[in-house]
Amino acid sequence: MSTRVMEAALGVADLKAFLEGTWLLTRRLRDRRADTQGTLEGEARFETVGDGLVYRENGVLRLGDGAFKASRVYRYGFPARHRAEVAFDDGSLFHTLDLSSGSCAVEHLCGADTYRGNYLVAGFGEWHVNWQVLGPRKDQLLESNYLRSG
The tens digit of pLDDT for each residue in 63-78 reads 988 999 999 999 999 9
| DSSP-derived 3-state class of residue 102 | coil
Mean pLDDT of the chain: 93
Per the domain annotation, does 62 fall within a domain? yes
Per the domain annotation, does 1 fall within a domain? no
Q: Exposure pattern of 35-56 as b/e (b: 16+ CB <10 Å)? A: eeebebebebbbeeeeebbebb
- Domain CATH number, residue 20: 2.40.128.20
Number of domains in the chain: 1
Domain limits for position 105: 6-148
The pLDDT of 81-97, averaged and rounded, is 96
